[in-house]
C-alpha cells in the first residue's frame, strides 16, 4: 500500500493515523518532494477510475494562474491536464491511497478512507 501525502495536510495526517491504528504496512510518498510522472498519474487515475480534472485542486494559485477552471474536460484535453498535474504536483488532491489489491481512493472522506481499511 502506498499513500501520497502532503505532511501539512490535516486529511493526510488523519489517514496516516488510521492506517497506523489498523496496523497496515504502507509506504509514504511525499508527492510534492517526489512528484509522480505522467505515466504514474495515468496509472493511478486508472486505478481510481477518475479523470485528471477529478483530482485537481482547482482553487490552488497555480491553477488560477493557468486558467484551469476554463480548460475543457474531455479526451482531447486529458493529456494537458495530466501534464499540468505532473508539472505542478500541488494541484493533486490528497491523500491518495493505492492498496495492494489494486483498489485506490482519494481518501478525503471518512467513507473513502474506510474502503481501504480491513473490515
| Per-residue CA distances from 9 to 12, 35, 74 (Å) | 5, 16, 30
φ/ψ of 115, rounded to 5, equals -65, -20
Active-site hit among 3, 6, 7, 9: 9
Asked if 9 is an active-site residue, the reply is yes
| Residue 7, SS3 per DSSP | coil
Q: Which of 56, 94, 47 is nearest to 77 (CA)?
A: 56
Which single residue is written with the C-alpha cell 486508472? 46
Q: How many CB atoms lie within 10 A of CB 88?
A: 20
State the catalytic residues.
Answer: 9
Amino acid at each position: 500500500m502506498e499513500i501520497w501525502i502532503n505532511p501539512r495536510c490535516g486529511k493526510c495526517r488523519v489517514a496516516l493515523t488510521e492506517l497506523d491504528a489498523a496496523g497496515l504496512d504502507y509506504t509514504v510518498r511525499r508527492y510534492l518532494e517526489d512528484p509522480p510522472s505522467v505515466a504514474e498519474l495515468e496509472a493511478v487515475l486508472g486505478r481510481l477510475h477518475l479523470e485528471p480534472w477529478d483530482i485537481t485542486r482547482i482553487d490552488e494559485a497555480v491553477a488560477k494562474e493557468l486558467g484551469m477552471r476554463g480548460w475543457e474536460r474531455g479526451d482531447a484535453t486529458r493529456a494537458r491536464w495530466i501534464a499540468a498535474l505532473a508539472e505542478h504536483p500541488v494541484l493533486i488532491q490528497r491523500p491518495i491511497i493505492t492498496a495492494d489489491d489494486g483498489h485506490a481512493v482519494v481518501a478525503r472522506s471518512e467513507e473513502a478512507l474506510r474502503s481501504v481499511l480491513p473490515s
